[in-house]
Structure 1
Amino acid sequence: MRAAQSPPSLATLVFLTALSVLSLNMFLPSLARIGQDLQADYGVVNLAIAGYLALSAVLQLIMGPLSDRFGRRSVMLICMAIFVIASAGCAMAESIWVFLGFRMLQGAVIAGQVLSRAAIRDMYPPNEAASKLGYVSMAMALAPMLGPMLGGVLEMLFGWRAGFILYVVLGAGSLALVWADLGETNTNPSATFAAQMRQYPHLFGSRRFWGYSVCAAFSIGGFYAFITGAPLVAATWFDLNPAALGLGIGIITMGFMAGSFVTGRLAARTQLSTMILAGRVIASAGPMIGLLTFVVGIGTVWSFFGAAVFVGFGNGLTVANATAGLMSVRPQLSGSAAGLSGALTVALGAVLTSATGVLVNAENAPFLVLGMMFASSFTGLLAVLYVRWIDRRDPLPDTI
């Protein structure tokens, strides 16, 4: 198979992004069985999720700068190879600690998400990059919906190891796809790490970069608060069965897909901050209206989950545009920017997930969940207003 010499197709980047998301949750239905087979407490087995998230945040901080220095292609090839080996190790593990060790190595697949974003920014100007990222974001929404269903079917038919064998197959396919279709997009890599590090203060000191990053992180933060608190609301206030709850949680994902599709259609000819502002207004209005219905005593299952649709749609209008914006502050450090922003998002998600789990109870569930969703969405709104203020005072040479 001949090595790629030209930039990748969008389909390749969508597949790599989807695999990075799928690696997080496809095996969730098998956690209990993994604990039984490997004779481990559920809390220990759960490190396969919590530890993986923590490590993926750290890896994003490393992969982005490495790709700015050595190129997207080489880093992606190495990471996909590590993922294949790690998946095989998980499938063959006979000890919980061996399993968890290889599971942490699987975190290398996060390169598919981080470096795909950077590659898109390499290939397109900011607004067109936002449009392409909108379509990629649809894969990020669809994979979490389908992954657990597929994992559950595989466990019922063949046992929990089948899911990790599928990871091996998908990882090997991704490795071949990167080799054949992902030519280098970083045409101006840093000459040395020292030269690259001298550029970092320009990125880290950019108020515009942090404005976009905070906006993106708190936008997704509303989603984390919802998925953590919604099960308790559904059980204690509406007596929903698991199937209905699954449909309710999935509705925010459908909203996100719809918003991402609109981004794909409109972002190329619309100012980034305008799209983001519209998304933040919609995402803030939904939980605010939902919260008011419960405050006045007329809250229903429709007003609760309807608020999530607004958040999902608003996030679809926000995330791709904010990501394109933060990578455009210093295009030569787009990989570093994507990695740093991704790590910030994961870290904030962990904080909001933990806070929701601690604070929400049967009495305050819909009020607190909707309140946290509104607070997170509104913080994102304040962040984009800050970016627009900066744009007026200090516009970039190429307006984004």
Structure 2
Amino acid sequence: MNRTRTPPHLITLILLTGFSPMSLNMFLPSLANIAVDLETDYSTVSWAVSGYLAITAIIQLIIGPLSDRIGRRRVLLVALLVFAFASAGCTFAPNIEAFLFCRMLQGSIIGGYALSLAIVRDTRTEREAVSLIGYIGMAMAIAPMVGPMLGGVLDTFFGWRSVFGFYAAAGFGLLLLCWFDLGETRPQRATDTSTPAPGTTALIREPLFWAYALCSTLSVGAFYIFLTGAPLVAQSTFNVTTAELGLYIGTITVGFMIGGFLAGRVGQHFEPTTIMIAGRVVACTGLAGGLLLLASGITSAELFFASTIFVGLGNGITMPGSNAGAMSVRPDLAGSAAGLSGALIVSGGAVLTTVTGNLVPQTNGGQTLLMLMLAASGLAMAFAVWAAWLRKKGGYPARSSDPSL
């Protein structure tokens, strides 16, 4: 059976996944200018970040199952069209109400990330998907570093509206690219209208899916904990400058890129759960080492942030396996799995950032920060081990090794 029809090129998948984080952070340098220009306060305009994150979680819960029912191509094209017009709306917004309304609609771009993962699983075996997602993640990690820099340059020379003009142009460009390059990749059996499409409830009743999804959520959660606590710890404990802090924060992203490359290289040769556990061991080992250094009285900023690099490295190794595994539990529901996993990651990140903000003390918070990161990474390892046990117990992947099943 022919499982796919004109699957997209790798560059298309990279652009779709990479533009999602850029839509979140590229305009961050402009927040203050937006508040001044639209005559509002900073706390109100900050809803463009917090509200946007909440909307993307909801959108993923809708887009994933919808793509399982009517196809990846149609859903993705509509999502890109909405994003492009919403970006144009932000560009010409006359007031904060119109701006925030259009900004929320921009959340549809998250479909580019979620559905790209589903498309990879549609067109590859499970192990091949691990490898490809690793390479895509490696390239995607560049976007969070480049986005704010590009946004800052555009704002400086052309004003904040030019950033959203760039979003609009890129949105229409991606729409055109996908129109010509992306065919329908949903498994053929799912297009059979003689039988009802299985619901998302069939997926959430699978313990194996939750093992994969919660491993992803807590792995990324350790990164959210780091982003929340690192600025405070860097200033209060190590007295580093903001420029140095930016460099230290960037190192965890470099670690993620390296981890993604390693997963891409070895993903086809090992079980996804083996890759996941290896990534968790890397993350936990680095954090444990950092805690031992602090306990021995060593408080060097370089050594502290060297230990947090292992979180990025471990996540880069783990995430391709956990993503591919979650979508392989029910390949006919790969879109739902990608959407639900993504929503859990965003929601979990929101919870963990709140917890971190309340628990990390104003002074000498380095040990608390590393302990919180280690707790999240350790729980993620427990779920990875659980996934391995469930696979062995249930005879997986014989049940669904073929995406067409």
Task: Name the amino acid aligned to 2:336.
Answer: S
Cα deviation code 1:82-134 (max 9, x no counterpart) = 00000000010110010000000000000100000000000000000111101
Match of 2:196 in 1: 195
Match of 1:304 in 2: 304
CA distance in 2, matches of 1:10, 1:193: 33
Task: Name the amino acid aligned to 1:33.
Answer: N
CA distance in 2, matches of 1:397, 1:382: 20
Match of 1:153 in 2: 153
Match of 1:92 in 2: 92
Q: Percent identity?
A: 48
Cα deviation code 1:111-168 (max 9, x no counterpart) = 1000000000000000001111011112331100110011111111111111001001
**CA contact under 8 A between 2:130 and 2:267: conserved in structure 1?**
yes
Alignment CA distance shift 1:219-1:397 (3 Å) = closer
Match of 1:359 in 2: 359
Task: Name the amino acid aligned to 1:274.
Answer: T
Task: Name the amino acid aligned to 2:223.
Answer: F
Look up the SS of the partner of 1:133 in the other structure. Answer: helix
**CA contact under 8 A between 1:69 and 1:191: conserved in structure 2?**
no
Alignment CA distance shift 1:194-1:359 (3 Å) = farther
Task: Name the amino acid aligned to 2:125.
Answer: P
**CA contact under 8 A between 1:69 and 1:192: conserved in structure 2?**
no
Cα deviation code 1:33-80 (max 9, x no counterpart) = 100111111111100000000000000000000100010000010000
**CA contact under 8 A between 2:5 and 2:185: conserved in structure 1?**
no
Match of 1:236 in 2: 236
Look up the SS of the partner of 1:137 in the other structure. Answer: helix
CA distance in 2, matches of 1:359, 1:137: 31
Match of 1:217 in 2: 217
Match of 1:248 in 2: 248
**CA contact under 8 A between 2:58 and 2:343: conserved in structure 1?**
yes
Match of 2:132 in 1: 132
Cα deviation code 1:312-332 (max 9, x no counterpart) = 111011001100000000000
Match of 2:74 in 1: 74
Match of 1:170 in 2: 170
* 1:54 to 2:54 alignment: yes
**Deviation for aligned residue 1:390:** 1.2
CA distance in 1, matches of 2:368, 2:30: 31
Match of 2:270 in 1: 270
**CA contact under 8 A between 2:282 and 2:310: conserved in structure 1?**
yes
CA distance in 1, matches of 2:137, 2:37: 36
**CA contact under 8 A between 1:53 and 1:346: conserved in structure 2?**
yes
The TM-score normalised by the length of structure 2 is: 0.95
**Deviation for aligned residue 1:255:** 0.2
**Deviation for aligned residue 1:199:** 4.3
The TM-score normalised by the length of structure 1 is: 0.96
**Deviation for aligned residue 1:191:** 4.8
**CA contact under 8 A between 1:284 and 1:377: conserved in structure 2?**
yes
Match of 2:184 in 1: 184
Range moving further from structure 2, 66-75 or 233-242: 233-242
**CA contact under 8 A between 1:217 and 1:341: conserved in structure 2?**
yes
Task: Name the amino acid aligned to 1:141.
Answer: A
Range moving further from structure 2, 54-63 or 390-399: 390-399
CA distance in 1, matches of 2:254, 2:152: 21
**CA contact under 8 A between 2:233 and 2:363: conserved in structure 1?**
no
**CA contact under 8 A between 1:69 and 1:193: conserved in structure 2?**
no
Unpaired segments ≥5 residues, structure 2: none
**Deviation for aligned residue 1:296:** 2.7
Match of 1:30 in 2: 30
1:97-112 alignment, distance < 5 Å: 97-112=97-112
Range moving further from structure 2, 296-305 or 9-18: 296-305
Task: Name the amino acid aligned to 1:261.
Answer: F
**CA contact under 8 A between 2:77 and 2:175: conserved in structure 1?**
yes
**Deviation for aligned residue 1:397:** 4.4
CA distance in 2, matches of 1:232, 1:263: 32
**Deviation for aligned residue 1:193:** 12
**CA contact under 8 A between 2:118 and 2:335: conserved in structure 1?**
yes
Unpaired segments ≥5 residues, structure 1: none
**Deviation for aligned residue 1:201:** 3.7
Task: Name the amino acid aligned to 1:333.
Answer: L
* 1:288 to 2:302 alignment: no
Match of 1:324 in 2: 324
CA distance in 2, matches of 1:94, 1:372: 43
**Deviation for aligned residue 1:21:** 1.4
Look up the SS of the partner of 1:276 in the other structure. Answer: helix
**Deviation for aligned residue 1:237:** 1.4
Alignment CA distance shift 1:307-1:194 (3 Å) = farther
**CA contact under 8 A between 1:127 and 1:267: conserved in structure 2?**
yes
**CA contact under 8 A between 1:290 and 1:299: conserved in structure 2?**
no
CA distance in 2, matches of 1:193, 1:275: 39
**CA contact under 8 A between 1:34 and 1:160: conserved in structure 2?**
yes
**CA contact under 8 A between 1:93 and 1:99: conserved in structure 2?**
yes
**Deviation for aligned residue 1:200:** 3.3
